[in-house]
Structure 1
Amino acid sequence: MSTDPHVVPPWAPAANTGPAATTAPAANTATAANTATAAADGPVAELAAPPAVVVQILATEHWSLLATRSMLWSELMSRISIHLTISSAALVVLALVGQATAFGTGFWVMTIGLSSAILLLGTLTQMRLALGSLEDYRLVTGMNRLRGAYRDLEPTVVEHFVTSPSDDFAGVSATYTLGTRRAMFFQAYSSTAFFLACFNAIVAGALASVVTFVAGGPIALVATLGVAALLGYLGAHRWMMQRVFAKVAAYPAARESA
């Protein structure tokens, strides 16, 4: 083998003798030129998988996100159902204790204890629901991004989409509303999170009223503290959801800058 690298590059096979050996430098030069041209053309020229394989990969990811979202909401609905079941059972227990103690001291102690437990469980469930809403938003964002990839592969499919192929806040909101115009007020205050917040706020108000009544406070103070606790709990829920939505709105920009 020749030791001249310009004649026989390191990656070339061993040199042959005869007429074929004179064509090796020209063939190697052509290969290097083709490699340089492919590198200059960018990622499109280097794409190894055909479009059909790319679609299969995207569809697999899409189904994975759908399955994850289904399991997420199954968990959240189970948590809410467990909480409401425990609350209903607590009311039955209070009714039985009230009959057994003639609504005496034992009844009020049981009322305060069960109300505190229900409020604690409800608050934990609400916190999980808020985090689940953030996770659901990111799952929908990912599915919108996959639709954008489908659109890039075949632009004519966009007219058949019911949901949005855009992963920004407006696009994800359009997916949640299935392309219809809906005020954010109705979207927020008709949600499962707000329903659970109202339930917990009622429990908080009732607990504050019972504690004030047992402590010997006047009826006006009982009502005032009950309403204040209810409104305070709703205000805390509003503050928490605003923080969640602030993270949601900034998610695509944060992902791009990461």
Structure 2
Amino acid sequence: MSTQDERTAGEPEGVPPSVRAQLLATEHWSLLASRSTTQAEVLTRISMFLMFTSASLVSLALVGQATRFSDMFVMLAMVVLSTDLLIGLLTQVRVMNVAMEDLMYVLAMNRLRAAYVDLDPGMAKYMLAGTHDDQPGMDQTYYFLKGRSTWSHVAGSSAVFIIMANTALTAILLGTSIMLLGWPAPAAVLAGVICGLVFAGASMFYGYRQYRDVWPAFTPLSPTPPGRD
């Protein structure tokens, strides 16, 4: 039995193609709206985090001048940096969740495009976005043209951006904490950098593992034919 036969098996007979097209289009618009809302929400979260961090650092500079960088200033700086990092981590969790949700929406819309092609096979040659709900189809939807590497897509993502921001906060906070314990400044800086790199590596590995674990558990309804990936 062909893949198309498997997809159409069990469907109610007698439903006009125009009705099916309307139902598919309604679902497609629903997915587009949900995807747009999610993307707008996470961009707002990132902007709020950056504004909060910038404002807190400017406030620390003003307080430092007023207190002549006394012990009270150091204590306040540690509290503020810890708060910034906490908010950054919460933002990072949301950004990574949204990345997986975006993948979910892309696969769902690819499946709907496959249904459009089933209704009218002649449409396939006009579609630049993927019409297969698997990894090659996802890659095609994220970038219609050939040539962009996976590394470029990952490096330019919002997830890597927020990870780098939190890496800097982690390195500064831990380096300062270690220096307050009496370590010499070069050793504290080196320890902070190492801790930051460990945090960045762990965060990226977690994001990659989330992405990797999707495919063994996901069964595409319209996989890419062999030789076309």
Q: TM-score, normalised by structure 1?
A: 0.79
The aligned counterpart of 1:9 is none
Q: Where in structure 2 are the equivalents of 1:1-258 lying within 5 Å?
A: 47-253=13-219
- In structure 1, list runs of 5 or more residues that go unmatched: 1-41
* Deviation string, structure 1 residues 130-150 (Cα, Å, up to 9, x no partner): 111111101110000000000
Letter in 2 for 1:242: Y
TM-score between both structures, scaled by the size of structure 2: 0.88
State the 1:247 CA deviation: 2.7
Q: Deviations over 1:104-132 (max 9, x none)?
A: 11111111111111111111110111111
Amino acid at match of 1:87: T
Using CA pairs under 8 Å that are at least 6 residues apart, name the structure with larger relative contact order, 1 or 2. Answer: 2
Runs of 4+ in structure 1 off by over 2 angstroms are 42-46, 178-181, 247-256
**Relative to 1, partners in 2 of residues 1:255 and 1:161: Cα closer, same or farther, differing over 3 Å?**
closer
Return the offset for 1:49.
Answer: 1.5
How large is the RMSD of aligned CA atoms in angstroms?
1.9
Q: Is the 8 A contact 1:76 1:128 kept in 2?
A: yes
- How many angstroms apart in 2 are the aligned matches of 1:45 and 1:135? 28
The one-letter amino acid paired with 1:111 is A
1:187 to partner: Cα distance: 1.1
Residue 254 of structure 1: CA displacement?
8.2
SS in 1 for 2:65: helix
Structure 2, unpaired ranges of 5+: 1-7, 223-229
Sequence identity of aligned pairs in percent? 35
Of 194-203 and 212-221, the range deviating more from structure 2: 212-221
